[in-house]
Chains A and B, each alone.
Chain A
Amino acid sequence: MSKKHATGTTQFDLGFYDRMAALLEKWKHLGEIPVDQIPSREVIDEITRLLYLEARLLDQHRLREWLALFSADGAYWIPADVDYRDPRHTIAWEFNDRRRMEERVERLETGQAYSQIPPTRTVHLLSNIEVMLAEDDTLHALCNFHIQTHRGHDTQSRCGWCGYVLRKENGHWKIMLKRVNLFDADLPQGNLSFTL
């Protein structure tokens, strides 16, 4: 048995892509959040704290702790389009399963990932946070982001909105999906090798 199977995952089968397609349909057409899908104030506070914690860990390059915020079947997705296209036949800047996220962190830890030497400095600002109840005891959270970055001689802004799917495991909210929707995802991008 090779190592690759020992760390295997059942994710990213066709069923997973069907669920992603349904999720995109929902987010694309979302209007006012129905009253019966608004979580308690307490839950909204919990989610808000999680998003702020994630932003702080990313700004401090604490990627191992960042990874721990995701569930074992978690995914990190940065589309390269702004049209909610089907990822089965559309390329993304990133569409990582949990294993690929770990590979990402491990690669950066080698000290030889030249796109992150020196690392991109970031400040993540979040706003417009909306939280709603979804199917199977999950929550969806949407927020706008502004990431101020600096690397080399270059100061830049990255903007867009994030969509999260969250689930409670052993009393802690875990990220099942983070979809980072750059408002200019289909346009030329400079160094995107930091973690958004």
Chain B
Amino acid sequence: MTTPSHPASAAAAGGINSLSDTDRTRNPNSESSTLQSYQHLFRPGFVHRRLYVDEQIFHDELRYLYGRTWLYIAHESELPQPNDFITRRVGGRPLIITRSAEGKIHALFNRCTHRAAIVCREPRGNAKGFICGYHAWTFNNEGHCTSVPLRQGYGKTFTLASTNLQHVARLDSYRGFIFASYSADVPSLSEHLGAAARLIDQWLDRGEKEPVVVRSGSMPFLVHANWKTIYDNAGDGYHPPFSHESMLKMFARRYGDVDMNYYGSDFDKSPMYSKNLGNGHTFLDQRPEMHKLSAWKRQHVMPGYEAMEKALIERFGETRALAMLDTATGSGMNLNIFPNLLIIGNQIQMPEPLAANKTQLTWFATTREGAPEEINAIRMRMQEDFPSFGEVDDSANFEACQEGMAYVPEMEWIDIRRHHDTEVGTPDPADHLWREPMSSDLHMRTYWQRWQELMNAGATQALKARGESS
């Protein structure tokens, strides 16, 4: 496990912040079919294009990275009733996530123990069990095989229990966020989340603390880019005024000094910051600007802004209504939990790798259980605005990056140097976690360090297993 620290202190471990001469002279563009270290794909402040475009590395990632760490798989509120289920691919693997009649959550590989067919082919529903469409092998929602047709054909020693659906190796949850690991050999979830858990608390415990509900639909974006091209952006505090200039310009022209206008000057001098939470997790904190006064009052308008504000003030009085609206406004937090949970504003994003150059980025909308209808309607219209006016431009930039990485082998390196050498980072006085200015590439350097740890350990283990079997 990494401990949060200045990335330079990890130099001894090699990677982005250090490089031996042997690594420097090795040709990173050359393909290698044998298991190998990925060290030669990193230089201080730079990562190699192959990490984003190479099919072999993509397949290695599905095994060594997605197969060997905690992944966010669902939110408990997606399964409100006994026998509810959803199906979803996470880290490539098709899963059935169920709530049993007793209310317990299970995560099963959606793969028949017989001929590997996908057993449940519906996205969601309520069912006590699942019947495979091929030979009608039947399983209950806890994974137990309950029926195999013409069973005598498997002989006298056959037992149904030997053909149960396979559970994920580890399953745990933190305050409604369900995580799974496909390998048993991982630390506890709380160890994995580390400092990120406290920020999940802060995200959940805003305002009147009604439970967060993730049943309000989603926007699944299909992006023709590597999952890391997207992941890079989740902690890129440098791009907003440039990538989103059209949006910021339009809002400023129409409404003056509104949300995100603080990106108009040297925002590295602002109290916003980027932070290394350890284990590859990172945090961008825009709250010092966005929630400095009233986030609602400074929010650009959205459909229903005036009508809902008026209705809420009539019902609850101005002070309470405005406090409610402040916490319905985006959280000002970008909490990135490596490798597949991105909490942004009031949404939950899951990047799902589909191919080296293809990713599904799903934005799950959230409402608050028991909050006034006006608040939830406002939350919906507000959660539509950035995807519509901002994410579309981000996606266009991700695809432009991917094209450049894929088709110009003469230019090998991707620059993640920002604030690496400026020596302006400091430990946070409150928790001693490492902080850098908002525009830093600290996020990228942090998760790439974790990427290398997982991938090198996975490759080493696979090599060892191969040696033992030969």
Partner-B contacts on A (CB < 8 A): 2-5, 7-14, 16-17, 75, 80-81, 85, 87-97, 99-100, 103-104, 106-108, 110-115, 117, 152, 154, 186-193
The answer to the question of B160 belonging to the interface, with a C-beta cut-off of 8 Å to chain A, is no
- B306-314, B327-335, B443-451, B459-467 - interface stretch: B306-314
Q: Kindly name the residue among A75, A81, A107 whose own CB sees the greatest number of chain B CB atoms within 10 A.
A: A107
Residue of B whose beta carbon sits closest to that of A111: B246
CB-defined interface of B368-409 with A at 8 Å, one 1/0 digit per residue?
Answer: 000001101100110111011100110111011000000000
Query: Are B217's CB and A81's CB within 8 A?
Result: yes
**A/B interface sample: 18 pairs, CB < 8 A:** A12-B308, A14-B374, A14-B377, A87-B377, A91-B217, A91-B380, A92-B384, A106-B250, A107-B246, A108-B246, A110-B250, A115-B393, A115-B396, A117-B396, A186-B217, A187-B220, A188-B362, A189-B222
Query: Are A9's CB and B306's CB within 8 A?
Result: yes
> In the complex, A181→B220 CA distance in Å?
16
Q: With A90-B380, A115-B395 in contact, is A2–B256 under 8 Å at CB?
A: yes
> In the complex, A154→B392 CA distance in Å?
16
Interface of B is mostly: helix
- B44-52, B69-77, B226-234, B296-304 - interface stretch: B296-304
Q: Out of A88, A106, A114, name the residue touching B393 (CB < 8 Å).
A: A114
Query: Are A89's CB and B216's CB within 8 A?
Result: yes
Partner-A contacts on B (CB < 8 A): 216-224, 243, 245-247, 249-251, 253-256, 258, 300-308, 311, 360, 362-363, 365, 367, 373-374, 376-377, 380-381, 383-385, 387-389, 392-393, 395-397, 399-400
> In the complex, A141→B443 CA distance in Å?
50
> In the complex, what residues of B have CB within 8 A of residue A7's CB?
254, 301
> In the complex, A152→B397 CA distance in Å?
12
Query: Are A110's CB and B360's CB within 8 A?
Result: no
- Give chain B nearest CB distance to A63 CB in angstroms: 13
> In the complex, A80→B384 CA distance in Å?
10
- Give chain A nearest CB distance to B318 CB in angstroms: 15
Query: Are A190's CB and B311's CB within 8 A?
Result: no
Query: Are A12's CB and B381's CB within 8 A?
Result: yes
Query: Are B254's CB and A191's CB within 8 A?
Result: no
- Give chain B nearest CB distance to A141 CB in angstroms: 23
- Give chain B nearest CB distance to A96 CB in angstroms: 7
Query: Are A91's CB and B256's CB within 8 A?
Result: no
Q: With A4-B301, A92-B384, A113-B393 in contact, is A13–B311 under 8 Å at CB?
A: yes
Q: With A80-B217, A112-B246, A114-B396 in contact, is A100–B255 under 8 Å at CB?
A: no
> In the complex, what residues of A have CB within 8 A of residue B383's CB?
91
Q: With A107-B389, A115-B392 in contact, is A90–B216 under 8 Å at CB?
A: yes
Q: With A89-B377, A91-B217, A95-B381 in contact, is A13–B256 under 8 Å at CB?
A: no
- Give chain B nearest CB distance to A5 CB in angstroms: 7
Query: Are B360's CB and A188's CB within 8 A?
Result: yes
Given A91-B384, A188-B222, 14 additional A-B pairs, CB 8 A: A10-B306, A11-B304, A13-B307, A90-B217, A90-B365, A90-B380, A92-B380, A93-B384, A110-B245, A114-B396, A115-B395, A186-B217, A187-B220, A189-B222
